[in-house]
Structure 1
Amino acid sequence: MGIPSIQPYFMPRKEELPKNRMSWTPEPGRAALLIHDMQQYFIDYYDPQASPVVELLENIQKVRARCRALGIPVVYTMQPPEQTAEERGLLLDLWGPGLTAHPHKHPIVNELAPEDTDTVLTKWRYSAFQRTELLDIMRRWRRDQLIICGVYAHIGCMLTAGEAFMNDVQPFFVADATSDFTRNWHEMAMTYVAQRCGVVLSTRDVLDALAESSPRAATLDLERLRGEVADLLERPVSDIQSGDSLLDLGLDSIRLMTLVERLRAAGIDISFVELAERATLDDWWEILAARMPLGRGKGPERERAHGVRG
């Protein structure tokens, strides 16, 4: 019962990855990044100075940095520090009390601590989709690809990839940004995903794919911004008046974060807090017009910028 002591092993190299049946490629406008259960409790079973955990932390940091630069949403899962026997269910029989016995080890490891704009989900079962809002959130974001990093490869990471596939979400299993109890279990997880439900990639593969891709461009002006907001609110454009409170119209934090990610992907440096503190379209446009890549101008020049979506 419980997680075994994990002995060091070498991370899989690119040339050792299994052959994929699918040829899907991660795209900035379609993908979300999942950082799965990277809590101190789970990482403490590794030797912190040895493979695979050294590469695990470095590679997740690299993937996360590339995703953030491209406006790809970052999602974390965290198992709760306190669970009743009923909440833990059959996990109690198989793994014992888990984090409940070590609540001080609940946080994400310092190297990967979430930012305020990241989404953090409480996770109750192996798959990140079970008893969470992950699928609903991805559908709101209109994201149908999931880049999976974290621990443990043959348990939560693999089951999450399988469930993503069953919900028509393309999973990308980052082989050297996941780790496991042993190299054999790690290889089993990679082989299963590559052959049955997803695409197995190295960190370098992910970085190269995202570097070659670029957010789709279009012009952004006040009317296009109005259209983006109407799209997020699922309302006719005519309902969105420049002086109306967008919060009163139903713009919640998840929809607002989606807009922020789209704007960042278009090269506009804007934060969630900056938009959340202002309630109207006119207020937003005053900020955004000065932040667009081509800068503030007069007449047509002020109306031009790289777009939110194609």
Structure 2
Amino acid sequence: MAHDALTPAFRALVDEHAPVAQVGSGFQFTEGPVWHPDGYLLFSDIPADVRRRADASGVREVKRGTNKGNGQTFDTDLNLVVCEHATSSLVRLTPGGTREVLASHFEGRELNSPNDVVVSSKGWIYFTDPWYGRMPVFGVERPRELGFQGVYRVKPGMAEPELVVDRYQFSMPNGLCFSPDESRLYVNDTEQTNIRVFDVDGQGRPRNGRVFASGIKDSLKAGVPDGMKCDFEGNVWVTAPGGIWVYAPDGRHIGRVAIPELAANFHWGGTDWRTLYVTASTSLYSLPVKVGPRSEPYMRARPSRTSAAPVEGGLELSRCALIIQDMQNDVVMEGGAFASSGAPAHCREQRAIENAARLAERCRALGVPVIFVWFVVDPGAPGMTLNAPLFEGTIEANALVRGTWGAAPVPGLEPQGGDYVVEKCRMSAWEGTRLETVLKAEGRDTLISCGAWTNMSVEHTARTGADKGYLMIVPEDACSTMNADWHRASIDYALQNVSAVTTTDAVLDALG
């Protein structure tokens, strides 16, 4: 079954002849796929009222009696957030089985039937509310209490969900997703066969809604706009006639993924997030793709096999030092020499500057040394070798030159009195620098290391530090690189073998 490349851009995302494999079959109507960082997929079978799990050992039932659960995702704590058709509720399920109702009524009336859900980086939960769950088979047939189908947000402390779009804008709002930087929210309408896009303001409210794509229908093929996701490059993927249609960020229809049955939803998964799992009527399918998903907050949660035990019991302050690497304008800021790499967007997505600043502030207050490591090139690059593309590119871009804006620290991470500054012109903070001299003088052997870029400077510094006998701790949300894929590859694999990978909050807690 060949996929359809309408433009060459599609071939960078999916091989036109990528095989579609049937992972499991014999179900009634599959929906709600979501990949857990521990390495398995959960998905719903709505009419059967079952939640199933797919992993290396096959497909098995994990829950019978789900209130006809449909769309589902994880929050940042890896609790399962589920849209329940039978109860007209959005609920949160902890790994231990506790069920919490997040939303069930609006203005005193029962919601229609929450259908699909997404979580923002701030922990705000957005969901659509068509009335499919009040129809036979897909829910429990009963009268509607609301006279419209809306899109809502749930925030901590809210007594009821907040309606975030005009109540009469959608006929049947269904799939929804954020752009990689969360500046846009996409919502599709199954009945209108279109996708609308909204700008998201600083308070998380959708504004300036307009049609992004329309006419998502085909009289000769089954399929409607339903499940929808963004990849990490900002392309929008949506179920449609014949499988999944893909749109570029500017709204151009660039290709179609062919699926043997009517596709309802999909999700990226696999160890490298390069397998697309598709829930399609009676089956679950998978196919290899070349692009990963938008980095959703829960994807940054660490797999259970890599727990943060080295910091959970607390850190001995007299042995700690904080290293902040390469947080310089050319590296991670818009207008910098490497801005075209995507580094500024990923830095914002990670909130790496803010998180590194939080660590620095706490360390200073506790008397823990703060060490800035900067990549600095003297004018003309004397003594700078050209033995690697990284160094060649730095010279060609005239980047990180001493005394220029590009070499200066980013706003918010300027050194303060008592901080150290170490200069380098290599990837590792150790190579040709006075870093170890500073650490020996301070008597520090436990290093909290963050900054840019995760898969280069941060990783190389952690490797060498581990070899030298230092305990390396990497708060991954205080690190960034060119995109989420490179970041995850380093965090989930290389860095696991040479450091304790954790989060900024966990480090702050361990510091006391």
TM-score, normalised by the number of residues in structure 2: 0.37
How far apart are the structure 2 equivalents of 1:27 and 1:7? 41
Partner of 2:392: 93
Separation in structure 1 between the aligned mates of residue 296 and residue 366 of structure 2, nearest angstrom: 27
8 Å CA contact 1:67–1:73 kept in 2: the answer is yes
Q: CA RMSD in A?
A: 2.7
Provide structure 2 residue ranges, at least 5 long, that are not aligned to the other structure: 1-231, 235-293, 334-338
Is the contact between residue 459 and residue 495 of structure 2 (CA under 8 Å) also seen in structure 1? no
Question: How big is the shift at 1:20?
Answer: 2.7
Residue in structure 2 matched with residue 199 of structure 1 by the alignment: 500
Contact 1:153 1:186 in 2 (8 A): yes
Shift in Å at residue 15 of structure 1?
A: 6.3
Q: Structure 1 residues 208 and 135, CA, compared in 2 at 3 Å: closer, same or farther?
A: same
Q: CA deviation at 1:32?
A: 0.5
Match of 1:302 in 2: none
Is residue 183 from structure 1 mapped to residue 183 from structure 2 by the alignment? no
1:108 to 409, 434, 437: 409
User: Which ranges of structure 1 fall in alignment gaps of 5 or more residues?
Assistant: 1-5, 212-310
Q: Flag the structure with more relative contact order, 1 or 2, with Cα contacts below 8 A and sequence separation at least 6.
A: 1
Q: Deviations over 1:12-32 (max 9, x none)?
A: 558622433784234311110
Q: 2:348 aligns with which of 39, 45, 53?
A: 53
Question: Structure 1 residues 58, 138: CA separation in 2 closer, same or farther (over 3 Å shift)?
Answer: same
Aligned to 1:70: 366
Give the whole-Å Cα distance in 2 for the aligned partners of 1:75 and 1:174: 15
3-state DSSP class of the match of 2:306? coil
1:77 counterpart SS class: strand
Q: Give 1:104 deviation, angstroms.
A: 2.9
Change in 2 beyond 3 A, CA 1:51/1:124: closer
Q: Distance in 1 between matches of 2:440 and 2:343?
A: 38
State the aligned residue count.
Answer: 205
Partner of 1:150, secondary structure, is strand
Cα distance in 2, alignment partners of residues 182 and 198 from structure 1: 21
Is the 8 Å Cα contact of residues 10 and 51 (structure 1) preserved in structure 2? no
Secondary structure of the corresponding residue to residue 120 of structure 1: strand
Q: Which amino acid aligns with 2:330?
A: Y
1:35 aligns with 2:324: yes
Distance 2:400 2:318 in 1: 41
Distance 2:397 2:442 in 1: 33
Quote the residue 2:223 is aligned against: none
Per-residue CA shift, 1:129-158, capped at 9, x if unaligned?
111011121112110011111100000001
SS in 2 for 1:154: helix
Question: Structure 1's 100 and 192: CA in aligned 2 closer, same or farther, altered over 3 A?
Answer: same
Taking structure 1 as the reference length, what is the TM-score of the superposition? 0.59
Distance in structure 1 (CA, Å) of the matches to 2:485 and 2:445: 30
CA distance 1:94–1:100, shift in 2 (3 Å): closer
Give 3-state SS (helix, strand or coil) of 1:129's partner. coil
Contact 1:88 1:124 in 2 (8 A): no
> What is the alpha-carbon distance in structure 2 between the residues aligned to residue 47 and residue 188 of structure 1?
15
Instruction: Select the structure that is richer in helix.
Output: 1
> Alignment partner of 2:425: what SS?
coil
Equivalent residue of 2:317, what SS? coil
Percent of residue pairs identical: 27
Q: 2:306 aligns with which of 20, 37, 40?
A: 20
After superposition, what is the alpha-carbon deviation per residue over 1:185-239, rounded to whole angstroms, capped at 9, x for unaligned? 111111235531110011111111111xxxxxxxxxxxxxxxxxxxxxxxxxxxx
Q: Which residue of 2 aligns with 1:148?
A: 449
Residue of structure 1 equivalent to 2:459: 158
Match of 2:427 in 1: 126
Deviation, 1:11, is: 7.0
> Structure 1 residue 85: deviation in Å?
5.3
Structure showing greater Rg: 2
Mapped contact 2:375–2:423 kept (Cα < 8 A): yes
How far the C-alpha of 1:88 sits from its partner, in A, is 3.7
| Equivalent residue letter for 1:92 | F
Tell me the distance in 1 between the aligned counterparts of 2:460 and 2:343: 25
Aligned residue number for residue 254 of structure 1: none
- Tell me, what secondary structure is at the counterpart of 1:110? coil
Per-residue deviation, 1:96:
4.2
1 CA distance for matches of 2:467 and 2:429? 13
Separation in 2, partners of 1:11, 1:113? 29
Cα distance in 2 for residues equivalent to 1:190 and 1:172: 12
Matches of 1:197 and 1:156, distance apart in 2: 14
Displacement after TM superposition at 1:7 (Å): 6.0
Decide whether the 8 Å contact of 2:495 with 2:501 is kept in 1.
yes
- Distance in 1 (CA, whole Å) between partners of 2:321 and 2:352 is 19
Shift in alpha-carbon separation, 1:61–1:200, aligned structure 2, 3 A: same
1:84 to 366, 381, 385: 381
Report the alpha carbon displacement of residue 128 of structure 1 after superposing the two structures with TM: 0.3
Describe the superposition over 1:110-143 as per-residue Cα deviations: whole angstroms up to 9, x where unpaired: 2111013110011111100111011121112110
Q: Deviations over 1:226-261 (max 9, x none)?
A: xxxxxxxxxxxxxxxxxxxxxxxxxxxxxxxxxxxx
Please tell me whether the aligned partners of residues 324 and 451 of structure 2 are also in contact (alpha carbons under 8 angstroms). Answer: yes
Instruction: Look up the equivalent residue of 2:302 and give its one-letter code.
Output: L
Worse-superposed segment, 75-84 or 8-17: 8-17
Q: Deviations over 1:54-98 (max 9, x none)?
A: 611111111111111110000001111425253243243355434
Secondary structure of the residue aligned to 1:112 is coil
Question: Secondary structure, in 3 states, of the residue corresponding to 1:32?
Answer: strand
